[in-house]
Structure 1
Amino acid sequence: MATRLRSVPSLLGACAMAAAALWPLQAHALFGDDEARRAIVELRQKVEANQKATEAANAEARESNAATRRSLLDLSNQIDQLRAELARLRGQNEQLAREVSELQRQQKDVQAGVDERLRKVEPLRIDHDGQSFTAAPNEKRDFDAAMELLRKSEFGPASAAFNGFLQRYPASGYRPSVLYWLGNTQYANRAYKEAVDSHRRLVSEFPTHLRTPEAMLAMANSQIELKDPKASRRTLEELVKAYPNSEAAAAGRERLARLR
């Protein structure tokens, strides 16, 4: 029994010593769990923070992508609108080009018409029978037409054409030539009195014209045909005196010699 009692304190001491030995381990285990919990909490917080940051970044990225898609859609719409506007402008440009081309054609036609009308009325520079003058296109046309009839020996129509010319163009530069050829057509038509009158008008109105000596010689011929040799002689004498160096005067001298 005593032995058993003595062993009790020893047992208690051993237990105390064992407890003392275990205390640091328990304390260490206790404090290690707290740090682990804190680490876990911090890790969880970091994970949550990262998740939030990731979600925020994803949300921002989604918003950015959505904004980009909207911008691209707007840009695509603008491009479509610009293409449509470009097509419309091209159509307008083509229409304007056609209109301008048509206007240019019309302008050319108008200009050609104006030029044609001007050619019909614009005075022409004429050199005829040793004289220079201006004449309207229709004036030249009518003279040429009368001369063409004369060349064809159509003396009746030619005489009428020359008479009509004098009535239409009394102050024409062609007048002395017309009087000369009118007298010749009248002579060819045996209208000798009218021929004398036409040639006398030429001699009176245009004494310096190159056709005047020839007109005097022709007038003397008409007077012969009218059975008026005295008048013919006087005309030939006036011819020789006024135009002694002309070919008509040389012919007139020969005829004077025959008349004597």
Structure 2
Amino acid sequence: MHRGKGMKFVGDSRVPATRMPNIPKDYSEYPHKTEAFWPNFLLREWMVGAVFLIGYLCLTIAHPSPLERVADPTDSGYIPLPDWYFLFLYQLLKYEYAAGDFTVIGAVVMPGIAFGALLLAPFLDRGVERRPIKRPVATSLMLLGVIATIFLTWESVDQHDWEAAARQGAIVDDDIDEDAEGYQIYQSQQACINCHGEQGEGGAAGPNLFDNEYEVEDIMEIIQNGVGDMPADQFEGSDEELETLAEWIANDGQDPE
């Protein structure tokens, strides 16, 4: 083809001489279906996040986190309670087939399947619809996860012994005589410490040693023969040491001399 006046050589008559860039239509051409990411969408998300953040801060001021006594790693009777966002997993580990020999199932396998299903939801349901009723797979998985989380969290809160938790975590002003012979004897009795705490302050498995009205003879009787859930024959020592320990307890942790 000769290059004449007003003509351009393109090599193929099916290819336009002037190519227009592939620019998508403006979002305003889709009323009620889409919007500008900046600033409309981000501004709305920021406002919603700010409302939740302010509400959360107000909640922390109105109901501050309760403080418990100093952590005691020797207290095997202490029953810990996770934060509220882990309560559903805490409750799951209480069931027969998710605890004991099946702990791996409850701690790894079942949560892994649940969260994995949520991660796969966008790939299992790739529809363009935004209405939940038009996205049955993703909507069902999300509703199942939310319902299960709420149910397990409620069960955990309902079944927890809050009074025992308050007792085991109470901050006690321990004013005991650590130089007393009775205290030294108590420190040598690991079975006593496991249930009643390092300072006799009590825990989940045993009450405060000094919160009683027993006489020395009664305390010796309880130490030797047990009472309630407390087993007998846990004291390891001589009769003289037993009497000294009982006197120390009866005297509220002070040297009777």
Q: TM-score range by the shorter chain?
A: under 0.3
Higher RCO (CA-CA < 8 Å; seq separation 6+): 2
More helix by share: 1
What's the TM-score, normalizing by structure 1?
A: 0.24
What's the TM-score, normalizing by structure 2?
A: 0.24
